[in-house]
Amino acid sequence: MNKSMNQERILSASFDKILNYIRENDDEQNVVNYHTPASLQQILMPKVDEEPTGEDEFLKMMDHYLEFAVKTGNKQFLNQLYSGFNLPAFIGDMLTTLTNTSMYTYEVAPAATIIEKEMIALMNSYAGYSDGDGIFLTGGSNGNLVAMFTARNRMLPESRFHGYDRTENLVAFINEQAHYSFETAANILGIGAKNVIKVKADHNGRMIPHELEKAIENAKNNRQTPFFVAATCATTLLGAYDPIDEIAEITQKHGLWLHADGAFGGSIILSDQHRYLMKGIEKTDSFVWNPHKLMNIPLVCSALLVKQKGVLQHNITDLNTDYIFHDMEEVEDLGKKSIQCGRHVDAVKLWFAWKYFGKKGYSQRIDNLIEMATYAENIVNQHPRLELMASRQSFSVCFRYQPENVVDLNEFNLAVRENIRKTGQSIVNYGYIGKDLTIRLVMANGELRKKDIDKFFQNFLGAAENLELQKVEEYEYEK
């Protein structure tokens, strides 16, 4: 610590700022205090000087960061697949940072090891993996990579030692609307992004099983070797769930690894009412589940579950590392099944939250998200100027505003979105269905209420109506 600073005084002031931030992070606050990059650069002055920072300047740095960070706990932050402030998880995250242990051995992380093993066992119980295993890792993309890596090693066990022989012509299959991380994974593993075959989806965004069957047969006829299929559990735009049950019949027939990418929508498995969307999950070989999304755990909290115990350890080629692993305790050192060595403690914040809310509480939170999405969908359907761009599948509502006299709907809706973002009223994302821009409203904050959805549409419609009036006035002026 810089000698000019008093450690206790800095900590006391820091906790005061944290408490104020939590208190003020309410519905009346803007989601963001927007500044242009150039303006923010001038305010933050991020360059590090030769001399140490003084105490007053250090505290000012904290104020500036909190002032200009996006308030993802605000109920008008509807932009990403994660949002919300989770108090027990925040406390768990703070404690793990305070203790600063790494997850490779029981020796350095005894409590965290016991907790991670319990969290993996609990998550496996929801997936129906009676003899399963798993590991917390750095996100859904990493989970999809390790799942594909594990499938490759099952298909070609010697590739762990001798590398991947391109003459094997491995090919993987995903929904055409699946996450880009599968192509990245194939690139990293040497399989090649072009050997990830995108299977046609129906109008709701769900993979079509007979198209998968056809794609597998075509690959075999072309002397390629199918080895991996990913079913998406909530696509990033439409929130669509692939039909796992039907896909599993095909993968079992052809002897392929079936992976479920539940990075976005995997938490629906907690809901008795809505888990039917993942019917057949117990037939998969692996499952990525991100509690940092719909369970509102602070980033990052992501787990890869596997159906068969031992397959993750099989991925690791050399554990002749007596400087880390000593096998002195009657418990598994979790680093032996991780491709990371140093690994952050992520299971503890999930444990704190799950203990706090209980199984029943989390089930209710997920049910509430679907209820809020249904409520938003009804608002869109009932408003004369709003158009539902696709049937709602789960947590996402895709829509746009249709002004009376504006031709370029993409440009108009993007301008409305940017207006409410830069004024800090609401932040919502967008994407494209074909060539049409759609506003993507995501329900991810488990504490959302109908009044929050009403406020969003009030903000969006107000900006849209003002812009429409402005366009009409410009048209009249030009005439």
pLDDT reported for residue 4: 54
Rounded Cα distance, 150 and 415, in Å: 45
Q: Is the Cβ–Cβ distance between 311 and 150 less than 8 Å?
A: yes
What 3-state DSSP class applies to 387? strand
What pTM value is reported for the model?
A: 0.94
Using DSSP bridges, classify how beta strands 225-232 and 170-175 pair: parallel, antiparallel or unpaired: parallel
State pLDDT tens for residues 321-336. 666 666 766 788 888 8
pLDDT reported for residue 181: 97
Rounded Cα distance, 302 and 276, in Å: 22
pLDDT reported for residue 390: 96
pLDDT reported for residue 335: 86
pLDDT reported for residue 161: 86
By residue count, the chain amounts to 479
Q: Is the Cβ–Cβ distance between 247 and 281 less than 8 Å?
A: no
Nearest-5° Cα angle at 242, 310 to 433: 130
Please choose, from the candidates 350, 343, 349, 467, the residue with its C-alpha nearest in 3D space to the C-alpha of residue 416.
467
What does CATH list as the number for 91-354? 3.40.640.10
Domain map (residue ranges) of the chain: 7-71, 91-354
pLDDT reported for residue 324: 67
The DSSP code sequence of 392-404 is: --SSEEEEEE--S
State pLDDT tens for residues 346-403. 999 999 999 999 999 999 999 999 999 999 999 999 999 999 999 999 999 999 999 9
Rounded Cα distance, 229 and 171, in Å: 9
State pLDDT tens for residues 443-456. 999 999 999 999 99
Using DSSP bridges, classify how beta strands 302-306 and 133-137 pair: parallel, antiparallel or unpaired: antiparallel
Residue pLDDT tens, the chain, 479 long: 455 568 889 999 999 999 999 887 766 789 999 999 999 999 999 999 998 888 899 999 999 999 999 999 999 999 999 999 999 999 999 999 999 999 988 889 999 999 999 999 999 999 999 999 999 999 999 999 999 999 999 999 988 888 888 888 999 999 999 999 999 999 999 999 999 999 999 999 999 999 999 999 999 999 999 999 999 999 999 999 999 999 999 999 999 999 999 999 999 999 999 999 999 999 999 999 999 999 999 999 999 999 999 999 888 766 556 666 667 667 888 888 888 889 999 999 999 999 999 999 999 999 999 999 999 999 999 999 999 999 999 999 999 999 998 779 999 999 999 999 999 999 999 999 999 999 999 999 999 999 999 999 999 999 999 999 887 666 555 55
Q: Reduced to 3 DSSP states, what percent helix, strand and coil does the chain have, rounded to the nearest 5?
A: 50, 15, 40
Q: Is the Cβ–Cβ distance between 395 and 294 less than 8 Å?
A: yes
pLDDT reported for residue 316: 78
